[in-house]
Amino acid sequence: MLIDSHCHLVYQGLVERQAEVLANARAAGVDGFLNISTREREWDEVVAVAEREPDVWATVGIHPHEADQHADLGREKLLAASDHPKVIGLGESGLDYYYDKSDRDVQRDLFRMHIGVARETGLPLVIHTRDADRDTADILADEMGKGAFPALIHCFTASPAFGRQVLEMGLTISLSGIVTFKNAVELQEFAKEIPAGRLLVETDSPFLAPVPHRGKKCEPAFVRNTAEFVADLRGVNVEELAATTTANFFALFTKAGRKGAA
């Protein structure tokens, strides 16, 4: 049993062959999928996949790239959308200073708004952060000081120092196919030190196909390649890594295990 903790099943590249990519993944032993939202207008479609497929869950939230378009979203809308039984988390939200597609102040405001809703609902926040280690850590520390909330860093590519900081704050770390890339030496070293109970794996499909699928459209079945690679790094077999990361998923996303949500 293996769970893809982060995929975009309604994005181009997957949406056209959604049934096929889900079947491929199930055949590869992947039997849980967290379908991630990035903007308000896709929430209904993202949640609809989860309504249709028993092993798919959904998040609602605003990606930092989309922050400018959602400056006036308001927490009530997010709160209301998060009430759906198959919505088990929030996000992806956070800071992206690499592409800088939205005003940084708006990114930070929306990130804090998502954190507030995570604290209030107890739903974990799926955090996207790129080239923004310092501001992300500062906001997390400040907000944790106001009251704890569950969260994970998805597609972790930041520095080991940042990784240790967020682990200390109680966050979980999710590794994508990037960890399999030949030049990801620092990330591979850090992957060995993440505590077993705080680790997840994901594809972020349709992006970031892991080795040996690089250059292809990424799909959830490929989470197995990332799991095998990470298991090898950590000196455990893939079955053990699959069992651990699956247990971690349900321990973090507690709503996935609730009656009526599965």
* Number of residue whose CB is nearest Zn ion: 128
Question: In the structure encoding, which two tokens stand for residue 64, read together?
Answer: 């930092």
Residues in 209-248 that interact with Zn ion by CB under 5 A: none
Least distance to Zn ion, CB of residue 36, Å: 5
Closer to Zn ion by CB, 5 or 121: give it.
5
Q: Tell me how many degrees the CA angle 178-183-187 measures, rounded to the nearest 5.
A: 55
Least distance to Zn ion, CB of residue 64, Å: 8
Question: In the structure encoding, which two tokens stand for residue 68, read together?
Answer: 């400018």
Closer to Zn ion by CB, 66 or 92: give it.
92
Closer to Zn ion by CB, 61 or 150: give it.
61
Least distance to Zn ion, CB of residue 237, Å: 28
Least distance to Zn ion, CB of residue 240, Å: 27
Residues in 87-146 that interact with Zn ion by CB under 5 A: 92, 128
Closer to Zn ion by CB, 42 or 120: give it.
42
Closer to Zn ion by CB, 114 or 128: give it.
128
Least distance to Zn ion, CB of residue 11, Å: 9
Residue numbers at the binding site for Zn ion (CB under 5 A): 92, 128, 204
